[in-house]
Chain A
């Protein structure tokens, strides 16, 4: 059992969820309630990670993070190290490939809040911030929770993009999924078996939590 790989995976998953969730709430609300030009294109772009082969997504991220890109050069100038094959680079990639898992459940949840309910809150004299905290967030909560769990579980399990962008540096970018692959390559089937079982359990628990909470009765569902 490679504890450092597991810890790195959990760190990555928690950080990804922590950063992505608030961001996704903002984006999901806009997508749910605003109509604007190019909306379909934006929605399609956000859904791309669902259908693209991880290698394709990984390739573009590698190019975007590389020393030839402004982002890669900027990062290197600021922090003195390359973005690719670093934990930060891995986190950035993780944020990108989790976008659909995080945004879509929330978008559905916000769409399910009737407009009249939001209008009623405004007519009650509640400030937009208060409406968000008291009305929107509680009503969209199952969607937010499910987004969080899906993001968490998906980050734990992602392999292709991680390999492309992060490589396989123990303690820096070697996640548990990569570590399992590593063990299989090294013909260490016992190590692979234990880690695979741990990953399986974590994922199963996470998804079960997501399914249970989104089925809570009494919530309006879209």
Chain B
């Protein structure tokens, strides 16, 4: 049953066909939740269900204390009755109407004398003053996105939904729009739901992120937490944690607040994790940023923390960080990924074939229930 008590946006939706869905989600006023998943995971369908453009078989959607959809109670509100702001992926501006008229089109709930001035005000809010009379075709991608945001806000919506709003613009514009959204957020006291497949975007903008896969919401929490502590190997893959391996719990040492993990010939220390029994097979993961490269010329601090030797396999400099994979000694076919600042990689003369030593930060090693990694359910 729908719970209409909450001030924010909440939903619970499920169905078997035609698009399998089993999702629950909540978003408090002023909160920005990122809905993250690979293409085809049902992100847009979920958004459409919230907006009233798609009617799922089961479940409910409520927002700001009113029930928008409740399958059990046969409640269904049309998009017109929902007061929602939706920014479409390709903005879906009305191509025959000027920027001003696009925004004014969503102001039908206000007296007509106010509409033009309110539309101007909203275009000013998204830094588009002076471009009111342009047709969408005469605006850049970033400007079109701003018109779409202004139009979505024009309804004075009770929730703002953004469907991959940054995917159609270039990188520089995107960075600018990120800042504008962050700025805009402060003025908005409504739940904000951002659909994206870009993890960095989610991490940079969202208070919480929710992982969606094949229509199922798998895990939600603060982005850093979801990425550092994925629920299972599947979520780890979905949040692009490359270092996921199988291992075995060797011992718990509560007196030292640690657990010992065996991985082939290596034994690692990690934070005490009594949830997994001694002897049990587990999957473990470590974010690439928590694999520390040691300098060759002199031993660095933490040299003895879970040391691993190996050979640099691949070295890709992506701007300020260099992404590095290493073949681990004594572990056939295992590639350990780490990322180091590019200047560090350069100073150490990192190149394919070099011997390197790394440390796995004990507190960053994360244990998960065992599952066969050779049969990935990932996309």
Contact surface of A with B, Cβ cutoff 8 Å: 114, 116-117, 119-127, 130, 134-135, 138-139, 218-220
Chain B residue nearest to A218 in the complex (CB): B137
In the assembled complex, the Cα of A200 lies from the Cα of B84 at a distance in Å of 55
Contact surface of B with A, Cβ cutoff 8 Å: 48, 51-53, 78-80, 83-86, 88-90, 92-96, 105-106, 108-109, 135, 137, 151-152, 154-155
In the assembled complex, the Cα of A27 lies from the Cα of B211 at a distance in Å of 42
Given contacts A124-B105, A126-B105, A218-B135, contact A114 B92 (CB under 8 A): yes
Are A122 and B79 in contact, with the CB atoms below 8 A? yes
Write the nearest CB–CB distance from A128 to chain B, whole angstroms. 8
Query: Chain B: interface secondary structure?
Result: loop
Residues of B within 8 A of A138 (CB): 96
Are B105 and A122 in contact, with the CB atoms below 8 A? no
12 contacts between A and B (CB under 8 A): A116-B89, A119-B48, A119-B51, A119-B53, A120-B86, A120-B92, A120-B93, A120-B151, A123-B79, A123-B84, A123-B106, A125-B155
Are B108 and A117 in contact, with the CB atoms below 8 A? no
In the assembled complex, the Cα of A135 lies from the Cα of B155 at a distance in Å of 17
Are A123 and B105 in contact, with the CB atoms below 8 A? no
Given contacts A126-B105, A218-B135, contact A119 B95 (CB under 8 A): no
In the assembled complex, the Cα of A122 lies from the Cα of B81 at a distance in Å of 9
Residues of B within 8 A of A117 (CB): 92-95
Are B88 and A126 in contact, with the CB atoms below 8 A? no
Are B95 and A122 in contact, with the CB atoms below 8 A? no
In the assembled complex, the Cα of A123 lies from the Cα of B86 at a distance in Å of 7
Are A116 and B90 in contact, with the CB atoms below 8 A? yes
Write the nearest CB–CB distance from B25 to chain A, whole angstroms. 19
Write the nearest CB–CB distance from B78 to chain A, whole angstroms. 7
Of listed B51, B88, B90, residue having the most chain A CB within 10 A: B88
Given contacts A119-B79, A120-B86, A218-B137, contact A125 B109 (CB under 8 A): yes
Are B51 and A123 in contact, with the CB atoms below 8 A? yes
Residues of A within 8 A of B83 (CB): 125
Chain B residue nearest to A141 in the complex (CB): B96
Residues of B within 8 A of A124 (CB): 105-106, 108, 151, 154-155
In the assembled complex, the Cα of A134 lies from the Cα of B48 at a distance in Å of 23
Beyond A124-B108, A138-B96, 19 additional pairs, beta carbon < 8 A: A114-B90, A116-B92, A119-B92, A120-B86, A122-B52, A122-B79, A123-B53, A123-B84, A124-B155, A125-B106, A125-B108, A125-B109, A130-B108, A139-B95, A218-B95, A218-B135, A219-B95, A219-B96, A220-B95
Write the nearest CB–CB distance from B195 to chain A, whole angstroms. 14
